[in-house]
Amino acid sequence: MKATWEMKKLGEICEEKKEKNVNNENLPLFTVSHIYGLIPYQNIFYKQVHSKDTKNYKIVNRYDFAFGLPTKDTLPYGLLESEEKVLVSPAYIVFSIKNKNLLFPRFLYYLLKTTYYKWKIIEMAKSQGATRRGLPLKFRHLANLEIPLPPLPVQQKIVKILDTIQEAIDIQEKIIEKTKELKKSLMAELFKYGGPSFRKGRKLKKTEIGEIPEDWEVVRLGEVAREIIYGISKKGEKEGKYPILRMNNLEDGKINCKDLQFVSLESSEFEKFKLEKGDILFNRTNSLDLVGKTALFTLDGDFVFASYLLRIRTIKDQLLPEYLNYYFNFEKTQQDLKSLASRGASQVNISASKLSSFPIPLPPLSEQQEIAEILQTIDQKIEIEKRKKELYEELFKTMLNKIMNQEIDVEKIEV
């Protein structure tokens, strides 16, 4: 770090707090996340995994910091701002700022988010070895950190700049969530009443899959699919001739290329397992919340797919893959697919034969096209908003690190 700002050890201006809930006060229980900071326990855990007796839990007061155990690449900590007093696990480090006229709490919160301090703290904890739950971070590690202390008005201005960008990120997240909710509502409407230009004078009929337009059919997937086959049983590696798509590459109905692995295959194997544009990949086995997820393959290049996926090729003059992919990712369909799964000791499974017998609604081809195009428009809106959010996140990261490294003159920024 540059030395133009005064530097002090964190232990000189902060003190560890070990106050326990000995009076068994009925206080909110919080936890820390490297993504969300200090948040209510139930926002992360959906069942009780903590002790009912909270007398041993640590008390965190407003503007105190709480640190969990870091891992080799995450640093979970948070600043309490939303409540007067909460409880956290006795395993957490809790500390407070001695003089808030010297160090603004939210400035320190942002400072510790910088790349420099994140890795500095993780490396300190690593030097002590590792436990089953994470790296053994102690307050003495944090106390030895040298941190910059610009004048309080400068700290407050830095916080205002970063808060402004963070607010823009939060707004984008809300827009994305609202657009996703709109998509859910549209899917429910489209798969019940059909495309808007086909609805005039239309009546509904009751079927095994619910109410659908009277002129739609209900067919078994196998009747309108050219094939439903299992992927290749070959372990992916960091190097190889062909990228192999796995369960983690299926996301929100689309293919992502995160953490790609590769396989080397004979030409005959490649021909059998290669993917073509318009193929649908179906996750046939895993935990109940993941089984049944699908994605439409639209990529250029020679890709193959793993054994725990199924490849569905539709008869395209009867069933458009885009329409089928949306129907599979419809909330109600996902529930129906999960009820189809066979339960094992630790995983569930949907076989190709079971999937082949799965009932689907079949509108005329032109109506399938209209439904798919409407939902594609919504997806495009979501992608645009996601990209905006990513740009704000990149701006935040850049500004955070450059400001804290004194590469940007804060005095010249107007907020």
- Number of neighbouring beta carbons within 10 Å of residue 196: 12
pLDDT of residue 3: 52
Domain with CATH 3.90.220.20 in the chain: 6-149, 219-352
- CATH superfamily of the domain spanning 151-216+363-415: Bipartite methylase S protein (1.10.287.1120)
Residue 374 CA to residue 381 CA, distance in Å, equals 11
pLDDT of residue 1: 46
**Spatial CA neighbour of 33 closest among 72, 71, 77, 73:** 77
Segment 346-388, tens digit of pLDDT: 789 999 999 999 999 999 999 999 999 999 999 999 999 999 9
pLDDT of residue 35: 87
Query: Which pairs count as long-range contacts for 78-83, CB under 8 Å and 24+ apart, including other chains?
Result: 78/30, 78/32, 78/33, 78/36, 78/37, 78/38, 78/39, 78/109, 79/37, 79/38, 79/105, 79/106, 79/108, 79/109, 80/30, 80/38, 81/105, 81/106, 83/28, 83/30
Task: Show Cβ contacts of residue 392 under 8 Å, excluding neighbours closer than 6 positions.
Answer: 165, 168, 169, 172
Q: Is residue 200 a contact partner of residue 211, using CB atoms and an 8 Å limit?
A: no
Tokens 């909330």, residue?
A: 331
pLDDT of residue 72: 85
Residue 79 CA to residue 294 CA, distance in Å, equals 39
Q: What pTM, to 2 d.p., does this model score? A: 0.85
Task: Show Cβ contacts of residue 257 under 8 Å, excluding neighbours closer than 6 positions.
Answer: 243, 249, 299
Residue 69 CA to residue 64 CA, distance in Å, equals 17
Domain with CATH 1.10.287.1120 in the chain: 151-216+363-415
Residue 81 CA to residue 62 CA, distance in Å, equals 6
What ranges in 224-348 are assigned the alpha helix state H? 267-273, 321-328, 331-340
Residue 45 CA to residue 31 CA, distance in Å, equals 9
pLDDT of residue 365: 97
**Which CATH number applies to 219-352?**
3.90.220.20
pLDDT of residue 286: 85
Q: Domain 6-149, CATH 3.30.2130.10 — does that match?
A: no
Residue 178 CA to residue 50 CA, distance in Å, equals 33
**Spatial CA neighbour of 37 closest among 117, 106, 122:** 106
Residue 109 CA to residue 121 CA, distance in Å, equals 14
pLDDT of residue 42: 78
Q: Is residue 135 a contact partner of residue 126, using CB atoms and an 8 Å limit?
A: yes
Side chain identity at residue 391, one-letter code = L
Task: Write out the two tokens for 204.
Answer: 């509904």
Task: Write out the two tokens for 151.
Answer: 């004048």
Residue 138 CA to residue 216 CA, distance in Å, equals 65
pLDDT of residue 51: 62
Could you report how far apart the first and last alpha carbons of the chain are, in Å? Answer: 25
* Under-70 pLDDT residues of the chain: 1-3, 44-51, 128-134, 345
Segment 8-32, tens digit of pLDDT: 999 999 999 999 999 888 899 999 9
